[in-house]
Every structure is written in structure tokens, then in C-alpha cells.
Chains A and B, each alone.
Chain A
Amino acid sequence: MGKRIRIQRLRRSALVLAAPLVAALLQPAAAADLNVVSWGGVYMKSQILGAVRPFEDTTGKSVEVLSYNGGLEEVRAQVYSYNVKWDVIDIELGDALRGCEEGLFVEVDHDDLPPSPDGVPAREDFLPGTLTECAVGSVIWTTVLGYRAGSFGDDPPDSVEDFFDIDQYPGHRGMRRTPKRNLEWALIADGVPADKVYEVLATPAGQDRAFETLSRIKPLLVWWDTGIESIRNLRNGDVRLSTVWSGRAWEADTHRGAELELIWNHQIWSVDLWAVLKHGRRQDLAMDFLRFATSTETLARQTQYIPYGPARRSAEALVPEAMLAYLPTAESHMAAGALEFDAEFWSRHFDRINHRFQRWLERPVRVPEYLPR
């Protein structure tokens, strides 16, 4: 009995003394020194663990990480109003090019970027196409096709053509609610060679062809906006096949037991880049973060948390072995007809094609069951 009382006293005493410490720790965080914006989910996690926290540890500055779903709308609103709250943004290549043209981002001095550990200048170390006037590449990421293992028996789909073949592989399909990549795959499924896709898609006839092919599966399409939706749709059985970001699929496989199979045939890979918004009040610190986040060490560290290919050659050798099988840049994956996402094409054509895409979304393909009476 006496021992029990003593333990209770010890607990109470410890709690009283520690309470101020706990309270201090749990105080609402003050405004961060820097706001960084990225895509959420496991990709954001890889950036927080691979870049943000090491940056905080190194500089003593606090960083708040916010999530968004892409696009330039909010960036324009902030920059045009000089009310910039997002200091650094992780952005797709097409938006990086357009944003730079529109004067939304600060220009980057490539000579000011850190060289590789063995002294190779950044200009030579970065993969072709990953350094732009206003943004610096971080990872090569990709969109592939996925399905739940075992859901198609002994004859699972293994190509883009199969994705569009709803006779042989019936069931709902998941696609991201954007014309990007969907139209490319539609043309490939309709027989256009991968290396001619953008040439064909640039013509009105090519766009008609892509939309008509997409229309074949439109009644079965379920649209997703965030990466987690694409995975959830597959896991719930709402769709049998879906386009997915390979990183999200890897995370669902390894951490959630999703048991997804990926189809690497004609993966469409792209680059994500860091850019600094104009008119921000913390541009120097933002540029420090950009340099830190695109260093060889940081890019290699990030691949411990997500299997996306680093944008620097010097970081490739540092990728953990367990991640190699999931990398978009793996030799076997690139050899399966991989298509590089043409950000410049979309930068020029996106507005017009997207307008048509949005109208196409609203229009039914099948005869509607409920014509108004």
C-alpha cells in the first residue's frame, strides 16, 4: 500500500513540475520564417523529412509547409496583389514556364546553385530540361496506370491499349480531372506512336481523335483531383483501373498494404521544380531554401522517403537500393515506351484544350436516360 502511494506522489510531482514545460511545448506556433507550398501526401512528407527539417536544423529558421493541388491561380492572385504568403512553391514544369513568362517567379542564377559533392557545376549536374530560367528541378516523377493485384485474374492488363479496352477489361476507370496526359494516352491507345503524340495532338484533327477515343470510356470514368483519391478509388473498388502517381502507389503498397500493380507501359514522366514567388518579403531566405532543397545531398535524402528520380546526376548514385525498382527513371521503366511530358506544348495549348475538355466533361456520350419530360 505504501509503495502505491509513493508512486502516485511521484507521478503528481513530476506532472506539476513538467506542466510549464508541456504547456510551452504545446503553445500555438508563431508565424513561420518561411512558407513552402507543395502537393501534400507522401510527396510532401518526403520533402519535409528530406529538405524542410534539415533546412530548419541547418539555418535555425522555421518553415511552414502548405499543400495545394497545382496551378497558377493562387500564385497570380498573390503576386499581382503584392500580398505574397507563399514564398517557395513546388510546381510542374509547364506552370514553371508559364509562370516565368508571366513574371510570377524570381529568376534563378544557375551559377549560384551548389555544385555536386565532387565539384561538378550545377549547370552540368542537372539532367537536361530540369533547369529553367525561374525554377530548379527537384525530382522526376511519373504518372502510370494501376490496378489492385489479382483483380483481373490470370490475364491482367499490361498496356495503355488495355486501359482503353473496356470490352476485354470492363470496369470503371480513374483519371485525373485534366486533359494533360489523358489525351496523350488516348492517342497512344488509338495507335499513335509515342514519339508522335505531341505532333498529332497539336492539330485539330489530332485533338478530335484524342477526345473521341476518350469518349469511348467516358461513361465509365471516375475523376480524381488529389493523389489520395486515386488510391482510395482503387482500394474501395470504385474503379478497376486508374491513372496514379507512382509515388502514391508506392506509399500505398509499402505502408498501407494496398497491393497495387503498376503498368509502366508508356508512363508519362515529368519534372517538378522549386520556384520563388515574386514580391515576397523573404526572397533571400526563399532562395536559400531553393538552393538547399536542390542540392545533391537533399535530393538523395528525399529519395529515402519516395521513389522519385532526383534531378541531379550526382544524386542518382545515392538512391537507396530498395527504391530503385519504383523509380520512373529505372532502365526497364524508361524502355517500356516512356513518354516525356511536354510541358512547353501544354504551356502553349493548355487554355484552349482545357476549355474544350471542360465542355466535353459536361456533355454526355451515351443517350441520357433522363431526357426531361
Chain B
Amino acid sequence: MNERPLACALTLLLVFSPATLAATEADALREELDAQRKRIEQLEQRMERLTEEGRLVPTEVTAQQAEQPADRLEIGGAARFNLFYNDFDDAGDDKYGDSAFELFRLNVDGQKGGFTFSAEYRWYPYTETIHHAWGGYALSETSELRVGVNRVPFGLLPYASHTYWFGLPYYVGLGDDHDLGAKYLYREGPWDLQLAFYKNGEWGNAADPGRYAPDVVRTGCDPDAGNLANCNEDSNQFNARLAYTLGQNGACPTEVGLSGQWGQLHNIATGDNGSRWAVAAHMDARCGRWNFQLQAGRQVLDPDNPPGVSDDTVQFGLLEATYDLASRANLGVANIAYNFPVPWEPIDSLTCYHDFSVYLKDESGFQDSRLNTTGCAVGAAPIFAYLDWINAENAPFFSVADPFVRGASGSDNRLNLNVGFYF
């Protein structure tokens, strides 16, 4: 029953009544008025309570109510393990492969007022590192600003692969890279624009390769001791990514986009700045249960090295490892995936894929790099597993010592089962 209008109507009716009645003291009248106002407030509160309990159906939810985000804090994480067999590693032949703890990670995500935040920290057997840690603020319904260690907007997002092993874009610093800076995101309808500026890599200390995603690192550089090689580091990087989704609300939404990146390569031996730039065109189509991803791009690293130090390669580092990367190359990605309808009760999802990526180096004496991964990802909460057959030509973490430089002919194979417990 709607009591508020009734109360108001009665009060108004009585106030304007023409009845001639004896006057009383003004204070008493005020007290009575106050009492009635309080009673009306109580009834309004009761009505609100009934509405909240669902006993009165609100005719409309105001825009403010609908848009007010609730504060939240979510803590999660994962522990993951690998079971693998490398055909290039004789040590595993007689014992049918090896197993190894891969990582433990902790995630904290939340929202307070108009701010959002997200952070992930990872512990590996060989290092520990930040994955991301940023705070965000919604500037409008369609735009947001994120500051901190966040994903660099370049190429296929969020990943240019379907497997936990990633494709070559990750290893050349152009996929799932995370750096320290500010990113502006604008999304309206089919349009998606991201602009970003990064002062440097996620750790700040470019001498330390213990980081989640590859950056240019200067491990081993010591000008005072005469070690002038590998003295470059990423600095003052700008990114722009513009994408448009064709058929956004149809059966086959297809995002097409262009990405550009430009930054300085600061050399601490010379004190001068070289440059690093990359561009890419990309397409990501999700047609029913199929997913097709394509990306073509180019990366050029133009360091300003001291005399006698070659400009043909630049040192990259991740997860305590370092490797040299050819300074000029074209990058290609072609991925296909299918999400199977699963008839088995415990299985939440089954996605199988073939990911292919290539890094075609300009230098004639350098062998190209290729990575082919065929596998399936199986989800059965809280467990998620990737079973991959990885075929690699001149890719890091296989048998070739300088995969992104001269390389070698032939390929390596790895059979990998990655099992994670997610909470």
C-alpha cells in the first residue's frame, strides 16, 4: 500500500480545512507537526524497506541506483605445475619426461567508489615478480584511466595465443607485455581505442631480468669495467591501439585493428637515446565456436651503442633469463581455436587450438624463428589444464643458444601438460 501520498493528502487537506475551530498555542502545533513529519519519515523508511525486501515492486530503478557500483574486494590465485618431455634433452629420455612446479600467484581485485584496482604477484622457482598492479578510474561510461603496471596495448588482446606457453609475440616483447605507466581506454560500441605512455619496464631496474614479460635489459653492462655491450633499456614508450569490431552483436564479431609503439632505447654507456618502434595489423574473429586470429607486424630496434658494439641485436630479458633479439624483423601470427560442446558433467570447457607464429629477421645470416603449438585447454573448476605439443624453430627455452639471432636449422619438440589449481 502506498502510504506516503495518503499521509501527504490528509495533511494538506487538514491544513486548508475551512473549519472554524478554537485556536491553540503555536508551540503545541509545531510539536504536532514535527511528530507527523517524523511519522511520515518512518512510513517512507518502511516503504523503502518493503521495496528492498521485494514486497513492493519499484516501478523504476533510478539511473543513479542502477549505476552505483558496489565496493568489492576479491582475492584469488593459482598454483601450477608442469609435466613435460623435451625431445632435445637426453636427460629425460630414460625417465619419460620430468615434472616441475611452475608458479604460485596471488591476485587481488577490487572496487571502491569510482576506483578499481587489480594486482597479481607471482612466485616462480627461479624468481618472484609483479605481473600487474594498477589503479583505474572511470572517467565516463565509456572511458577509463589506468595507472601502474598494466598490459601494453599492442596487437591481439588480451593474448596473441591460446596456450599458456604463448606465441613468439610474447618473447619479442609485443604480446602480454606489462610496463609501468598510464593507459587511457575508450570503448564505445564497436570502437576500442587505447593510448598509453610507459616510463619504463615494470621493475624500473633494467639491469634485472627477473620480470614477467620481456623488456630490453642491460644485464652485464658495466661501462666502468669496460663492458659496453648490452647497455640499452626501454624508456619513454608511447602506444596507440585502435580497433573496430565488425558485426559486434552478430554471429561472427570480428575485431580488426592497428597498433603502434614507439619508445626510446636509452644507452647508459653513451648517455644517448636510440629508438624502438613496432606496428601491427590484427584481426580476431569469434564465429560461433570458432576463433581465428591473425596478426602481421614489424619491429625495429635502433640502439645508439658505443663504437664497436653491434646494432644488429638487442638484449631482452624475462624470468631471470636473457637472450639477444634481432634488431629488425617482421612478425606474423595465425591462430585457430574451437570450443567444443562438452557432454561430460564435470568438464566446464574444452578448447582446442593450433597457434602459429613467426619472427622473420631482416639480417640474411639470421635464421627465422617459428613456433607451432597444438593443444587443448580443459577447465573443470577449480582445475584448468593445458596439454600442448610445441614445435619450435629458434625459440627461447629450447635447444638453440641464440634463437632470435643466428639460430640453427631443425626444430625442437616439447610435450607439455600444465595443470593449475585456481582459487
Question: Cα distance A240–B339 when bound, in Å?
Answer: 27
Contacts of A167 in B (CB 8 A): 250-251
Of A127-135, A336-344, A364-372, the segment with at least 4 beta carbons within 8 Å of chain B is A364-372
A367-B3 contact in complex given A228-B57, A359-B345, C-beta closer than 8 Å: no
Closest residue of A by beta carbon distance from B292:
A367
Closest approach, in angstroms, between the C-beta of B296 and any C-beta of chain A?
21
A9 at the B interface (CB under 8 A): yes
Contacts of B17 in A (CB 8 A): 10-11, 14, 18
Question: Cα distance A67–B58 when bound, in Å?
Answer: 12
The contact sample of 28 A-B pairs, CB cut-off 8 A, is A12-B24, A12-B29, A13-B24, A15-B11, A15-B15, A18-B10, A19-B36, A22-B36, A26-B3, A41-B57, A167-B250, A172-B249, A216-B251, A226-B57, A228-B58, A228-B59, A232-B60, A363-B348, A365-B289, A366-B288, A366-B289, A367-B290, A367-B291, A367-B339, A367-B353, A371-B162, A371-B351, A373-B164
Interface residues of A (CB under 8 A from B): 9-19, 21-23, 25-26, 28-29, 40-41, 44, 66-67, 166-167, 170-172, 212, 215-216, 219-220, 226, 228, 232, 240, 359, 362-373
Which of A14, A28, A371 contacts B15 (CB under 8 A)?
A: A14
Which of B57, B420, B422 contacts A44 (CB under 8 A)?
A: B57
A22-B341 contact in complex given A10-B19, A15-B15, A364-B349, C-beta closer than 8 Å: no
Q: Which of B213-264 contact A (CB under 8 A)?
A: 247-251
Shortest beta-carbon contacts, A-B, top 10: A13-B21, A367-B291, A14-B17, A170-B250, A18-B14, A40-B57, A12-B29, A170-B249, A9-B23, A367-B339
A13-B23 contact in complex given A25-B10, A366-B286, A373-B164, C-beta closer than 8 Å: yes
Question: Cα distance A19–B21 when bound, in Å?
Answer: 14
Contact call A10/B3, Cβ cutoff below 8 A: no
Contact call B158/A369, Cβ cutoff below 8 A: yes
Interface residues of B (CB under 8 A from A): 1, 3, 6-7, 10-11, 14-24, 26, 28-29, 32-33, 35-36, 39-40, 43, 46, 54-55, 57-61, 78, 158-159, 162, 164, 166, 176, 247-251, 286, 288-291, 337-339, 341-342, 345, 348-349, 351, 353, 377, 384, 420, 422
Contacts of B3 in A (CB 8 A): 26
Contacts of A14 in B (CB 8 A): 14-15, 17, 19, 21
Question: Cα distance A281–B51 when bound, in Å?
Answer: 27
Contact call B250/A372, Cβ cutoff below 8 A: no
Which of B32, B61, B341 contacts A15 (CB under 8 A)?
A: B32
Beyond A367-B162, A369-B158, 6 additional contacts (C-beta under 8 Å) are A11-B15, A22-B10, A67-B55, A166-B249, A367-B286, A367-B351
Which of B7, B32, B250, B341 contacts A212 (CB under 8 A)?
A: B341
Question: Cα distance A253–B16 when bound, in Å?
Answer: 38
